[in-house]
Amino acid sequence: MAEQRVGLCQQTFVADDKFGDVIACLEARGWARVICGGDLAWRNLKQTDFESADADRYVNHLRHAQRLSHKATLAAALADASAEFYPRCYDLRLPAHARRFLGDAARVAAAAALRAGGAGPGDAGLGRTLVDACAGRKFDEIAARLAAGDTAATLAARTGGGDAVAAAAALRAFDARPQAAVVDGAAGVWVLKPAGGSCGEGVVCSTSVQELLAAAMARRWRVVVQKYIERPLTPLARKFDVRQWVLLSAVRPKLVLWGFSEAYARFAQQRFALSDASLRDKFAHLCNYSIQKDAPAADDAIAENMWSQAQLAAHIDRIYGAGSFEARVRAGIRAIAVAVAETAARLDVEKVGHGFEWLGLDIIVGEDLSCYLLEANVSPDVSHSTAVTAALVPAATEDALALLLDEGHAADTDAPVAARRRSTLYGDPPPTPADGPAAAPRWELWLRASAPAPAEQPPARLTDGRADAWWRAELARLERFAPPPPDASSDEEL
């Protein structure tokens, strides 16, 4: 792009070519696009120069925002929130996380095996061990079996004849845990994700801990392992996630969060199932549009594998009752968004100049309408990939610029809030017709409050070599708890 000649008073901006709606909106305002400098910069995070941003420059990123999108950093930051809205997630380069994963995997597999195991002849000793693991008392033997190749299904096939009363008590305790009804299910599925990955690259869904550990080792343990949500809401038998845009316009001392009034649902093309064959099918379990656009055609049940918020709300309200989407799903999404904003403050994400951050949150809705955060995305896709996004992206972009530039919310955390930006999710009364076109998609105020204090620095992750050595030592330790192989001579006739 050739540098433009601009007037002395003309406002200028730099923007990456991918942000076509930003370019169009600013040029319609009379701004001139330049190749460097400028009053506003709208670029990918890696290309953002925070050092040269002065106090009056608008920047579409916050310093250190990548801490939110890095899966291992987010897992550590949200470890205490897993009981509420974040499926249990473990950074395999942190020994404390790694040990908790092995214990959690053993407990989940034990519960699944006890549910499926018969009450007839079987290995009663294994049954007692499963009860102990399910109850959270001892897990090393089950963890050793899982690391050696067992799964919940193979354990279930060999157990039976144990103490049914003790098993029932252990399962009741297991089922009383937060998330158990929706996240844990009965198959014992986990998902491995590269810590710094995106667009579904390198994701593995499996019931086999041995397979997950092999995949983690191949990636030098730079991964997280998260409990797969086994009972998601599946309209038309398809898995989906909700992409919710949020915008942070201030972090400290005041935390200010805006949510876009229209989310959308991204669907997997293939039917949802938890069989081993299905778990290997990325077109059944990963909802990223970048993956699903290449899926082999199955049917046209969901056009372009995407629904608008209105379509999703109509489906949920039809099944669960009028108002269920707004009262349960939208409220759950807003609560998650607020928690992500508070996490940004604890991770010391920093505003430079008139900086702000447009994030894309990926959220799963459970069959009981509970909502769970999967990840947060810096620089979310704002292409016109489908009819749904082609309608939303220009509206969101134009209104974001109105919010940040015209209404002053990028520069002033205490700027007056227009009536149309009131949100019932925030506790405000709904806008009235006198407030303007309230039905139009818009950014709404979701939080304006004092920021929480920064968190303490998390433990340092192990380096490549040390992580590999730690895991080798841990797996060797577990081998001591593995039962000896069956004695072939015991089956011989005397």
Residues of the chain with pLDDT > 70, as a percent, come to 90
pLDDT value at 490 more than 50: no
Query: Smallest Cα–Cα separation from 174: which of 222, 111, 221, 236?
Result: 111
Considering its fold, how many domains does the chain have in total?
3
Using one digit for the tens of pLDDT, what is the confidence trace for 223-247?
Answer: 999 999 999 999 999 999 999 999 9
Poorest-pLDDT segment among 37-46, 222-231, 280-289 = 280-289
Do the domain assignments include residue 60?
no
Cα 479 to Cα 467: distance, rounded to the nearest angstrom? 18
How sure is the predictor about 204, in pLDDT bands with cuts at 50, 70 and 90?
very high
> Do residues 160 and 270 both lie within one domain?
no
In the predicted model, what is the mean pLDDT of residues 35-51?
91
135 to 132, 163, 164, 168, 187: CA distances (angstroms): 5, 13, 14, 10, 18
Query: Smallest Cα–Cα separation from 421: which of 395, 445, 437?
Result: 445
Do the domain assignments include residue 494?
no
pLDDT at 422: 85
Using one digit for the tens of pLDDT, what is the confidence trace for 74-114?
Answer: 999 998 766 689 999 999 999 999 999 999 999 999 999 99
Pseudo-torsion of CA 317, 322, 327, 329, nearest 10°?
Answer: 0
> Do residues 178 and 306 both lie within one domain?
no
> Do residues 271 and 199 both lie within one domain?
no
pLDDT at 121: 58
Mean model confidence pLDDT for the chain = 90
In the predicted model, what is the mean pLDDT of residues 243-265?
98
For the purposes of burial, counting CB atoms within 10 Å of the CB of 210, is it exposed (0-12), middle (13-18) or buried (19 or more)?
middle
> Do residues 174 and 200 both lie within one domain?
yes
pLDDT at 300: 72
In the predicted model, what is the mean pLDDT of residues 404-410?
97
Residues 260 and 297: beta-carbon distance below 8 Å: no
> Do residues 197 and 122 both lie within one domain?
yes
pLDDT value at 207 more than 70: yes
51 to 82, 351, 416, 456: CA distances (angstroms): 36, 12, 30, 25
Among all chains, which residue has been given the structure tokens 């876009």?
Answer: 260
Cα 135 to Cα 145: distance, rounded to the nearest angstrom? 17
In the predicted model, what is the mean pLDDT of residues 9-33?
96
Do the domain assignments include residue 59?
no
pLDDT at 3: 45
Which is more confident, 431 or 157? 157
Poorest-pLDDT segment among 75-79, 148-152, 206-210, 293-297 = 293-297
In the predicted model, what is the mean pLDDT of residues 439-457?
91
- B/e letters for 124-157, b = 16+ CB within 10 Å, e = fewer, are eebbebbbbbbbbeebbbbbbbbbeebbbbbbbb
Identify the CATH number of the domain in which residue 332 sits: 3.30.470.20
> Do residues 375 and 405 both lie within one domain?
yes
Using one digit for the tens of pLDDT, what is the confidence trace for 122-179?
Answer: 677 899 999 999 999 999 999 999 999 999 999 998 887 568 899 999 999 999 988 8
Cα 305 to chain center, whole Å? 19
> Do residues 148 and 121 both lie within one domain?
yes
> Do residues 239 and 223 both lie within one domain?
no
> Do residues 217 and 253 both lie within one domain?
no
> Do residues 415 and 292 both lie within one domain?
yes
Poorest-pLDDT segment among 167-176, 287-296, 339-348 = 287-296
Collect all residues with Cβ–Cβ distance below 8 Å to 329 and sequence separation of at least 6: 242, 312, 313, 316, 365, 369, 371
> Do residues 352 and 250 both lie within one domain?
yes
Domain that holds residue 188: 88-228+461-481
Do the domain assignments include residue 103?
yes
Using one digit for the tens of pLDDT, what is the confidence trace for 300-332?
Answer: 789 999 999 999 999 999 999 999 999 999 999
How sure is the predictor about 292, in pLDDT bands with cuts at 50, 70 and 90?
confident
Poorest-pLDDT segment among 191-200, 289-298, 366-375, 423-432 = 423-432
Do the domain assignments include residue 486?
no
Collect all residues with Cβ–Cβ distance below 8 Å to 209 and sequence separation of at least 6: 102, 105, 109, 143, 146, 147, 151, 190
Using one digit for the tens of pLDDT, what is the confidence trace for 186-199?
Answer: 899 999 999 987 77
296: tokens are 């082999």
State pTM to two decimals.
Answer: 0.92
> Do residues 212 and 250 both lie within one domain?
no
